[in-house]
A and B are shown apart, each in its own frame.
Chain A
């Protein structure tokens, strides 16, 4: 069946089996491989994207459920001229990544968190990112990066 959606500002239509997952649409049909699959069981958050502005786990959503939606992936975060999104820049400045596997999902979850709570505390950030696992950093620099992006003085 046909699924029409906007990804990073561009409209796409795909003819898909209903069982196609949103993350498959993004990676295999749209060719946007910045969105990672970690656990495939909605535990790790690596596949987080924005659906109509809110972070969701794209491994636990059917592509047909996103029909008509506005999807943003990590590829859509930087400006057209290459200027990074403030959350991306803060991850770089604060060393919020090591291997980088979790980073696309972290950036999408963190930017959704900041949209809902523009001035989070350290604890708000830790609780707000509970759906995203990182096996490298120990989280401290990720939390720092999100606080930096929020403009908090540390």
Chain B
């Protein structure tokens, strides 16, 4: 399978990427690792007329301790997130979840920014970032702005990023010793989650987000407020599927997905609480 024809341009820096998208308009698309975009282009589900390759914008590949948070450049590859000592220490939930994305070959190419920007509710990292209360930094022709993870995904594969904006940084609050759990349910190694849950707890605080339980990643707010009110993990987890709108597919019915959300939330919280 071969993508439809397109023109290819390469950006060497953030500024050049933004200038190029300004020049080529909304028929163009950024390509980072290409591990979400190319499969769609090969199936001709995406047919951009111009690809702007940002894969070599190396100034956006970094993991930095930034005081109360860890700053991750959007072009940082999954393998570098997974193995980052800074993230293993300060945001172990993200480092661990990243090690469950696809397989090593995928993680050698795919980037955290591509994963977030693609806004696929079945992806692991958008839900993890949501659970952790991450902030995204976007840069466009008019400058830089911050977008809260909770305001980012708008619908299936749609986000608050404008067409001419580049996602440049992911800011993940330090977990400060919080307990955490990541439960990804799939039937074969390497597969996407049928349902996934990312959870953390620290003293009275908690965060829980769900993978593949609707058209966007979902915050399990009912679970978190029940925990804050002193409910047991088992009781709070019963609320995990409330208000969710998952799609049925070959792998799972709506009811089964909702069952999984409750069961996996309990498991993730049990681990986070132990």
Contact = CB atoms under 8 A, between A and B. Distances in A.
Given A18-B6, A18-B8, A131-B190, A55 B108 contact: yes
A41 B42 contact: yes
B231 to A, nearest CB: 35
Given A18-B6, A18-B51, A109-B105, A42 B35 contact: yes
Contact of B105 (A20, A45, A62, A64): A45
A130 B190 contact: yes
Contacts of A112: 104, 108
Contact of B103 (A1, A41, A45, A54): A45
A64 B190 contact: no
Contacts of A56: 105, 108-109
Given A45-B105, A60-B35, A17 B42 contact: no
A89 interface: no
A48 B105 contact: yes
A113 B104 contact: yes
B214 interface: no
Contacts of A18: 5-8, 51
Interface string B1-43: 1111111101000000000000000000001001100110010
A64 B53 contact: yes
B189 interface: yes
Interface string A48-67: 10010011110011101100
Interface string A124-151: 0001101110000000000000000000
B233 interface: no
Chain A interface size range: 20 to 34
Interface in A99-136: 109, 112-113, 116, 127-128, 130-132
B55 interface: yes
A51 B106 CA distance: 12
Contacts of B189: 127, 130
A57 to B, nearest CB: 5
A25 interface: no
Interface of A: 1, 17-21, 24, 40-43, 45, 48, 51, 54-57, 60-62, 64-65, 109, 112-113, 116, 127-128, 130-132
Given A51-B108, A54-B79, A112-B108, 4 more contacts: A19-B3, A65-B53, A109-B104, A112-B104
Interface of B: 1-8, 10, 31, 34-35, 38-39, 42, 51, 53, 55, 79, 102-106, 108-109, 189-190
